[in-house]
Structure 1
Amino acid sequence: MADISIVQEHRLTPNKAREAAQKVADKISAEYGLECAWQGDVLHFERSGVHGSLAVEARQVEMNIRLGFLMSAFAPAIEAKVTEKMKAVFGAA
């Protein structure tokens, strides 16, 4: 098992931050085949071997990913890609 935690600051309004979170979710779900669902201001995602959440807060977003045994070998590459996508989407503000 491997855990990934990424915090990205932003200067977006709550609605814009949620839209940006959805963009990140759309990108990672297409790339990794994840199912996504909102629960309040937290976007939950999962697939076999991967589950996690993306919490949208006033000045930051926090993504937590738990990888199963087989996926844990790819943790560094997954963390780098997700960090890059979050910076591109949330850091642009």
Structure 2
Amino acid sequence: MPSNIQITRPHGLGLEQARSRIHAVARRLERELQVVCRWQGNRLWFRRPGASGIILVAEDQVVLEVQLGLWLAPMRQLIADRIDQKLVTALR
């Protein structure tokens, strides 16, 4: 059974700056983890074996939702913590 992660991270960057920073993170994920990313407006869809999700970039917050497959579900909390750390760093 899949396991879900949802993180909402507020920011004060404005829409364009936040989108630019999330885009930079996405490019790194594509290079380092073979994540497939696709923008649709201010939504970034991503997937790789075992995980998929969406990042919604808004004027004052970023909302991330990830669905983990069966093999990654036992590591849900570790993955959630790492994602949250990366978002905090990206949105500084």
So what's the TM-score if we normalise by structure 1?
Answer: 0.88
Does structure 2 conserve the Cα–Cα contact (< 8 Å) formed by 1:28 and 1:82?
A: no
Distance 1:31 1:78, change over 3 A: farther
Number of the residue aligned with 1:49: 50
% identical equivalent positions: 27
Residue 69 (structure 2) pairs with residue 68 (structure 1): yes
Number of the residue aligned with 2:23: 22
CA RMSD of aligned residues (A): 1.4
Unaligned runs of at least 5 residues, structure 1: none
So what's the TM-score if we normalise by structure 2?
Answer: 0.89
SS at match of 1:70: coil
Unaligned runs of at least 5 residues, structure 2: none
Residue 83 (structure 2) pairs with residue 82 (structure 1): yes
Distance 1:16 1:63, change over 3 A: same
Number of the residue aligned with 2:41: 40
